[in-house]
Structure 1
Amino acid sequence: MFYWLSISLTAVDLISKLFVRYHMDVGDTKVFREGLLHFTYYQNSGAAGSSFQGYGRLFGVIAVLFIAFVVIYRKRRSDESGLRLQDAGFAFLVAGAAGNGIERLLQGKVTDFLQFSPDGGILNIADLFINVGVVILIGQLLYESIRARVRST
């Protein structure tokens, strides 16, 4: 499930970025739902919040290292309950890293286009996948913690 989900989600991210690059010019904004969602095409050569501009390829290398770490970790971990949820969380994280990493390595920048408020930051689907992955992994840790406490009482 991990590999299938990672590859599928990465494809969704990359296709969405291709669509934006094909249909919009950098700086264009299209209002999808006023006050809720704008599509604003921005190219980010740095990290989150446009920090560290110009280091896009370095962040691409970091993404590759992160993906390698996750794959190695998954192969070395012991079989225990909750791994499906953990695999799903890791798949979202890897897909986000891969989607942004591929663009950073090839172009030195990522395509950002999702803006949830007119004054808010601009991100992409890979960024959303990273957030979902973190939430899933935190949820899995909380579940395991509660389950362990229930067992011990």
Structure 2
Amino acid sequence: MTQVLCKDFCVAINDIKSGVFVNGKFCKDPAMVFNTLGISLARLDFAPYGLNPPHTHPRGTELLVVIEGTLLVGFVTSNPNKLFTKVLNKGDVFVFPIGLIHFQFNIGKTAALAFAGLSSQNPGVITIANAVFGSVPPINPDVLIKAFQLDKNVVEYLQKAFAPN
């Protein structure tokens, strides 16, 4: 079997014998589907008050277009850590710079729909809480206690909550 280095996307496949297992689905080998267009597109469906939690794309800038609903979006710069937010309505567009932590939150009572275009066919995604508190093997709790100035019980609770099944 071919080693899969990238698990950021899945092109569905019917024949599981010739596919690879990516994020719980049988998919085409990513090496066989890259088309070098340098872009990717994602549809984001938000339930009322739904959240796309803080995450980053280490290899791509994201352009978000709201199709329906109202989203609170934001990103954080570094040095200094400054938060930029905006409430977006139908037709609004927002750019999340490459590598910066960002989020989208449906602040409406109805569903919201957005499309995200990314400046890479493989932008990657790192969900911050999952990466920090759900890593395998777990990060030493003493590191997280000191880094986030949290009580040991809180760190243990978060590591249990974010632990993979």
TM-score normalised to structure 2 length: 0.20
Structure with more relative contact order (C-alpha pairs < 8 Å, separation 6 or more): 1
Q: Which structure has the highest strand share of the two? A: 2
Q: Which structure has the highest helix share of the two? A: 1
TM-score normalised to structure 1 length: 0.21
